[in-house]
Amino acid sequence: MSNPISSIRNLGPAYEQSCARAGIHSAEELRELGADAAYARLLQSGLRPHFIGYYVLVMALQGRPWNDCKGKEKAELRTRFDALVAGSYDKGRSDFEAALDAIGVIEKRG
């Protein structure tokens, strides 16, 4: 039996929808992928990079409050986030998808 992504503390319906667009459909699958691989898939699916969204995911998968990330740990996560964005986010593709959304060619996002 699989559990919804929103069953993970701090991850609600909007995060669940983003994960579904990235092909991640359960809490178990998200945990198995881990934060970095999952966030890379979210970026590759067109999600706009946002550091808070990344570290909320990291904290959620560790069972910690979303705002528990501070100091050196937060700085280290920022370095990981920047590397993920550099390797996984294609701004041109995302802008193209936004244009398709605007004219109704593909399904609107969130």
C-alpha 19 chain-centroid distance? 7
Give the E-state strand segments of 1-110 in sequence order. Answer: none
Residue 109 banded pLDDT, cuts 50, 70, 90 = very low
Least Cα distance to 47 among 85, 102, 5 occurs for 85
Cα–Cα distance for residue pair 55/50, rounded to 1 Å? 9
What are the φ/ψ torsions at residue 70 (nearest 5 degrees)? Answer: -145, 165
CATH homologous superfamily of 5-103: 5' to 3' exonuclease, C-terminal subdomain (1.10.150.20)
pTM of the model: 0.79
Model confidence over 63-90: pLDDT tens digits? 999 889 899 999 999 999 999 988 877 6
Domain boundaries defined on the chain? 5-103
